[in-house]
Amino acid sequence: MKPTISIIIPTYNRAHLILETLESVRNQDFKNWECLIIDDHSTDNTKTIVCDFIEEDKRFRYINKGKDINRGASISRNIGISMSKGEYLQFLDSDDILASNKLKEQFEILSAYSSKCISTCKWGIFNFKSDPLELYENKADYKTFCSPIEYFEVIGKVGGFFPPHCFLIHKELLCYSGYWNENISLNDDGEFFFRIILNCEKILFTENTYVRYRNKSERKDNLSILNTSTKAQDLLNSWKIIEALYFTKYPNKKSTYLIKKKESVYFELKKAYPHLIKKNKRFFPQEIKNDNLYVKYMKVKKKIIKKIKSFIQ
C-alpha cells in the first residue's frame, strides 16, 4: 500500500541520538507512513545503529549519499523528497522528537482541506529525552491563520517561530513552492518555509499535539551559528530572496515582519561582518539611515549630559 505520509530525516554523525528520533517515528499512532533516512557521509556508526533499528520494519529506508554528492542537509532533504511516495511530507531532524499522535492529528485536520493548506502544532525545547515535557504555551502564532499575510502581520508585531518538524505539508504545495535551496547554508529552513507559507491558503493550528526541539545552541556543529563569512553571505542572500518573493506577491504591502527581520540581520552582520553591510547598502537603506540617526542622537545626548555635569559641578 502506498504510504500517505513520507517522513524525511537527514542525518550526520547522530549515532548517539538518532534512535530517540526513530523511536518517536515508530511509535506514531498513524501507521501508514514511510521514513527516509538520508545519511550525509557520517563518519561515526550512524549507519550500523540505523540499519539495526530498521531491520524488521520495512517502512524505514536508509539511504547513504554517494561520495560524489555534496554534503548538506538541504541536499539530503531534496533527495528524500525525490524518493518519497507519500501524499504529505514531514521533515524531521535526526535529534528531534515527534509526539506519538503528531501525524494522526495533523493528517485528520489537513485531509478536510485543499492541498494548499498546511498544519502547525505546539513545540518545546529539550536537552535530554528524559527531561520533563515543557512546551511553549499561549504563543501568538498558536492559532489558525486564514491567509499568509495574516500570519506575517502577527509575527511581525509579536514575533514567532515554528521548527521545521512542527509542519505537515502536502507534496503538491512543496512542488509548487520549490525544493530546498541547496545554495544556502544558513537560514535555509527559514527561506524554504517562507515559500511554503507564502503559497499556502491556510495555516491550520493543531492544538492537541506537539514536537520536541533539541537545544542546539551549545553544539559545536550547530549549523545556525554565524561563524564564517560564507554563512553570513548565505544569511543575507536568504533574506534577499525572501524580500523579493514577498513584494512579488504583495507589491504594495509594507511588512512589519520584513522590517524587523532585516533590522536584526543588519545589526548581526554589522557586528561580525561589517564589510557585507558596505557591499549591500542598497539592501539596507532604511536600516543604515536609522542607525546613523541613532549614532548622531547618542553623540548629542552625550554632549548635553557632559554640559549638565559641568554646570552642576
pLDDT for 252 equals 83
Give the β-pairing of 97-98 and 88-91: unpaired
pLDDT for 264 equals 93
- For residues 202 and 214, give the distance between their C-alpha atoms in angstroms, rounded to a whole number: 28
- For residues 129 and 1, give the distance between their C-alpha atoms in angstroms, rounded to a whole number: 33
pLDDT for 306 equals 67
Name the burial class of residue 176, with classes exposed (0-12), middle (13-18) and buried (19+) by CB atoms within 10 angstroms of its CB.
Answer: middle
User: For residues 166 and 120, is the Cβ–Cβ distance under 8 A?
Assistant: yes
The per-residue DSSP string of 60-115 comes to EEEEE--TTSPP-HHHHHHHHHHH---SEEEE--TT-EE-TTHHHHHHHHHTTS-T
CA 160 to chain centre: 12
pLDDT for 90 equals 99
- Digit-by-digit pLDDT tens for the chain (313 residues) are 789 999 999 999 999 999 999 999 999 999 999 999 999 999 999 999 999 999 999 999 999 988 778 889 999 999 999 999 999 999 999 999 999 999 999 999 999 999 999 999 999 999 999 999 999 999 999 999 999 999 999 999 998 899 999 999 999 999 999 999 999 999 999 999 999 999 999 999 999 999 999 997 644 455 557 889 999 999 999 999 999 999 999 998 889 999 999 999 999 999 999 999 999 999 999 898 987 776 666 666 676 666 676 667 6
pLDDT for 313 equals 63
